[in-house]
A and B are shown apart, each in its own frame.
Chain A
């Protein structure tokens, strides 16, 4: 367990109240990207994949009642705070921070460069209310808001399913949301930025993946790798009909790769990629 109270940790801890109603807090635990395994074992990899900097964990206790735990993460950037929030979007929007989800005793939300998990070991009406109160208090204490990843601006709005947008860096997280391949055929990594979004139109569901690489060379190499591994039967074309009868279409432009998976129509998939390309003009 890391216990050094760096100024960043003190600042983060200052956003979290010392009491939650009659629940009193215990001593904080502070972890960084190296020591997080001491706290949550291998699950720490999820937060490391989003470049976490610090975690302040504060437990609230009241005899005879379920504990409440606040895990407050400093992610280093608002993009990664948003990203780690999108890793698990299960639940109802609680209207807290810049995006939130509440389900079964767990509130998660993001604001500025921070990601917060407020959790009760047993959901009761009382603990649910405390969890939400704590979240509102913490969200209110964080003074600033942060920007969402710029890559989201490339998502065409038509057919986009709200609440089904994930932002991430590496292929393990991509596979968590949508299994593509057992190895990193898209050459993702901590320097790549990726967004995966669900689209639904007329009952048809498809996915759009956009990756921003460090440069055009990296994007071109990733595109070639993807074509080789995923669509060897495409004959050099950018579209292929897969075994489920749906279409996968890929396009490389500059430092970006955009891929539509599982579209019922090759034409619709290409149109969506046209829309992505048009939006690229706005952020160059």
Chain B
């Protein structure tokens, strides 16, 4: 059986037929809304999310997370909302990201932890971890996972995404590096994580929109976007975060804004692996809070 490959010429065809923003982007499709159901993504921003020094403001972060979860689930009572995500009997792993230059902020971890405990989970039945998840007894026995990480560019996968954040659940992450991490979504089908993720939080407080060099980080290529993206669907959360990163790059570099390498693992998580939805036309984006510089 021959499998036809996608070439640059296919993208050129799309561009000539439908000159839409993003039509050349391998990561996202453009087109009419599909008949099947949409997924909801909430983008919540707060002008006061960071203090004058750039540190996260814990009260604002808690408020943003709560507002995001309320809007996502359509439940005004925040504890009821979390109880619909997490049961008191769950063992909960909060999967964060420890990359030293742009980790999941402690304030986000604490805000999530507080609401998991409000849902009735005792502290000894929850854990916050990244690199140690495979050795962590809570994660080994987890019945529920919360996935929280900052959005950033990545030198090999294109984007450090919610999908990619589960790479620590495999013993040899490099086994998923082929074709610049095209098939990361398959990790989500492995026993340690399959069906367990209750919420994805893509942290957009100070996203990294460009990288240079071995260390990949320069503060000049971050900005105070002061947002959180919240969704049950990791693919939709990532696709939305990608739109923000690319819009920022267009604004900054005055070019097409596309990430290099292409973060095609996001689209493939949808089209090849059916983990979630990457098509903006099928994403119901709810925007809350501060709108200045929202970019999308």
Contact = CB atoms under 8 A, between A and B. Distances in A.
- The finding on whether chains A and B are genuine partners in a shared complex, rather than unrelated, reads yes
Interface size class of A (residues with CB under 8 A): 35 or more
B218 A104 contact: yes
Given A45-B156, A176-B261, A104 B5 contact: no
A280 to B, nearest CB: 26
Nearest to A34: B174
Interface in A31-54: 37, 40-47
Interface string B5-16: 111110111011
Given A42-B155, A43-B156, A119 B173 contact: no
Contacts of A69: 214-215
A192 interface: no
Interface string A177-200: 111111101000000000000000
B271 to A, nearest CB: 11
Contacts, number: 111
A179 B139 CA distance: 39
B179 interface: yes
B177 A42 contact: yes
Interface in A98-145: 103-106, 108, 117, 119, 121-123
B38 interface: no
Given A40-B215, A46-B156, A242 B12 contact: yes
B16 A119 contact: no
Given A40-B215, A176-B260, A45 B177 contact: yes
Nearest to B164: A42
A278 interface: no
A56 B11 CA distance: 41
B216 interface: yes
Contacts of B6: 181-183
B34 interface: no
A277 interface: no
B212 A42 contact: no
A41 B213 contact: no
A5 interface: no
A77 interface: no
A182 B215 contact: no
Contact of B12 (A42, A71, A176, A243): A243
A11 interface: no
A182 B26 CA distance: 9
A71 B173 contact: no
A43 B214 contact: yes
A92 to B, nearest CB: 13
B154 interface: yes
Contacts of B212: 88, 90, 103-104, 106
A242 B99 contact: no
Contacts of A88: 212-213
A172 B180 contact: yes
A43 B217 CA distance: 12
Nearest to B12: A243
Contacts of A181: 5-8
Contacts of A23: none
23 contacts: A40-B215, A41-B173, A43-B154, A43-B214, A69-B214, A71-B214, A104-B221, A106-B212, A121-B215, A123-B218, A123-B220, A175-B180, A176-B260, A182-B6, A182-B179, A183-B179, A185-B7, A229-B4, A229-B7, A230-B9, A243-B9, A243-B13, A243-B15
Given A42-B156, A45-B155, A103-B212, 17 more contacts: A40-B214, A40-B216, A41-B99, A44-B156, A45-B174, A47-B214, A69-B215, A90-B212, A104-B212, A104-B218, A104-B220, A175-B261, A179-B8, A182-B26, A182-B264, A229-B7, A243-B15
